[in-house]
Amino acid sequence: MKKKQQYEQVILVGVQTKESDDQFRESLNELQALVENAGGEVVGELTQKRDQIDTKTFIGSGKLIELSHLTDELAASTVVFNQQLSPSHTRNIQEVVDAKVIDRTQVILDIFALRARSKEGQLQVQLAQLEYMLPRLVGQGENMSRLGAGIGTRGPGESKLETDRRHITAQMTDIRRELQKITDHRQRNRQHRSESGVIQIGLIGYTNAGKSTVLNALTDAGTYEADALFATLDPLTRELELPSGAQATMTDTVGFIQDLPTTLIEAFKSTIEEARGADMLLHVIDAAQPNIQTRERTVRELLEQLEMDDIPVLYVYNKADMIEDVNFTAESYPSVVISARREEDANYILREIEAFLQEEFVYYEAQIEPSRGDILARLRQETIMTEQAFNEEARQYDVAGYTKPEGYWDTQLNG
């Protein structure tokens, strides 16, 4: 007989301060999805409205007692706060509540630890977890003894977190050194792609928007798809061919989310930077979600933090087959509305990508000698060639198209 899977019994706690009721509800729903993706089962919820969080206990002494009673009543083993807790908050809550107390950041870190497959991804998760836990090692007391298993504890492990701060700092230094080697290698690969003239496209978007599905629809990537948060952590670059015959690369990146921990923004910067040198970004948006604007804004703000907001963006509203609003219209421009699972939509996206790039690229005209078939072949692959004809009188090929501004071919043909 198959053993039934055991889930941690979790209570969610959220404090509404300045956000609207809809934003607050959306954030709590997202926290529930995060907890479920980490292997927990939400059995209760405690919310309150305050002008600002309580400096000592986050939710105030009266609400803290209510939380303690609710934890006992529901036999919950874990309490997850929607906002990030300071070390003193955790310590003071733990004195009253008989359960493991963690926050949204720890749940996100936990999911990253579960999903990271590559050496780089695992190192980045470990670094982010150590950076988060380092200031929380002193004075955790009872809560540290509870952090032995389950949500919020995967990755470095209890034994590593119990070692002295000097050892952890040295460990973080070693991880950064290893990551720098990988980052340098990535930079060399990006430089090579840039010098080759190949068109580069970056996939970005809120987590679970369907980026991997888009990548699989446009290339033969065969990457993992799932209706889950952070299904893809490790960047994946694959080749694709545009309708004109131009060759391009498309890179899938980690999904963004509201309140992404600062430690993760820093730790995963090199991963997301795979799309930094892109000629354009495809911002994939789950069009079936009710709160699209908030998610779009989150991605834009994170792009600003990553200094990638100057890259041209084509908005791809995905999951059109699941949209309930019959009057749905895309708010961002330029944009396409598609379902990545429909084959005809994949061809449509490719045509729109090429049309978008023509708007961003510079026009060129060139005459190629018949003996220079190598140059002709490269122009077909590395530029969007729109015209090619053999001029019998001049005994040459007359070609025209669009190429990257200030790129290799722009310099050679228009310089």
Binding residues for Mg(2+), as ranges, are 212, 232
Residue 277 phi, psi (nearest 5): -85, 15
59/112 Cα distance (integer angstroms): 28
- Numbered residues of the known binding site: 205-212, 230-234, 252-255, 318-321, 339-341
Residue 223: which of 186, 251, 247, 190 has the closest Cα? 251
C-alpha distances in angstroms, 289 versus 50, 270, 319, 324, 389? 28, 29, 9, 9, 48
Mark the binding-site residues for GTP, compressed into ranges.
205-212, 230-234, 252-255, 318-321, 339-341
**E strand segments, 66-205:** 78-81, 100-103, 199-205
Cα–Cα dist 335/153, whole Å: 41
| Core vs surface per residue 76-102: b (16+ CB within 10 A) or e | bbbbbbbbebeeebbbbbbeebebbbb
* Residues 58 and 89: beta-carbon distance below 8 Å: yes
Bond prior to 135 in cis (omega within 30° of 0): no
Q: What is the DSSP letter of 370?
A: T
